[in-house]
Amino acid sequence: MAAYENCYWLSADGLKLHYRFYPGDERLPPVLCLPGLTRNARDYDALAARLAGRRQVIAVDFRGRGKSEYAKDPMTYAPATYVADVQALLAERGIARVVAVGTSLGGIVTMLLAQAGAGIAAALLNDVGPEIEASGISRIRGYVGKGSSCPTWMHAARTLQDAHADVYPDWKIEDWLAMAKRVYRLNSSGRIVLDYDLKIAEPFKTPGNESGPDMWAALSALRAVPVLIVRGGRSDVLAQPVAERMLAALDQAELVTLPGVGHAPTLSEAALHDPIDRLLEKALS
């Protein structure tokens, strides 16, 4: 694991929000890592370790996740609020341009940030696009916000394996154990619980709240910058035809589909090393 500093910033409504800061070349746009709906900054450990020293990496815990405070109003668990939170972070650090890496919800936030005028030097959209498959939304709604408590880390790993074996069919138990350490936390009672506010599910239950009003318009804000579209070959969130439409709508896009992986790739896959490096080389300034 690469060395990092735990840092915090304040949202407009007064929440203390957390990110991990990994040092790197200060002359280059930092890599801004935005996680999925129920995930947190720990998802980007492997990517940050691979980029260590080359790029600054900022891995965000959205409000209600990881070390960030939980929202007083659960209806603020929505993409527009996450965009405002990230804008406040970039303003506080004086960052004008970033390479945005967004997985699932993080990719939606990336597109909305670009539409809002953020300086996006390049973007990686991980298994998400302007249209989300109904089957994927239904599956996610089926588990988000439902509490899970385990007595040991191995129990947590087995719980994840039972629920998501079709997403990562080739994973071994050590892979599931590593995921458990990213998804769960140890609470004050010694139980292992999900590391997010279960109330994030409340706005997600309302159709339309999972993304934004017109995500194709948001995607078009990335038209002129380098974009890497990553799709899991087994994904039920980003359909191949939608990924191909995204490719056609962008001037400098590359599409990489990972066979045998569902929603969402971890970005630590060896097949992504070269495409990610190519994306970063295009975002040198």
Tens-binned pLDDT, residue by residue, of the chain (285 aa): 779 999 999 999 999 999 999 999 999 999 999 999 999 999 999 999 999 889 999 999 999 999 999 999 999 999 999 999 999 999 999 999 999 999 999 999 999 999 999 999 999 999 999 999 989 988 888 888 888 899 999 999 999 999 899 999 999 999 999 999 999 999 999 999 999 999 999 987 766 555 556 899 999 999 999 999 999 999 999 999 999 999 999 999 999 999 999 999 999 999 999 999 999 999 975
Q: What is the 3-state secondary structure (H, E, C) of 4-42?
A: CEEEEEECCCCCEEEEEEECCCCCCCCEEEECCCCCCHH
Question: Do residues 251 and 262 touch, judged by C-beta distance below 8 A?
Answer: no
Residue 243, beta-bridge partner list: none
Question: Do residues 180 and 173 touch, judged by C-beta distance below 8 A?
Answer: no
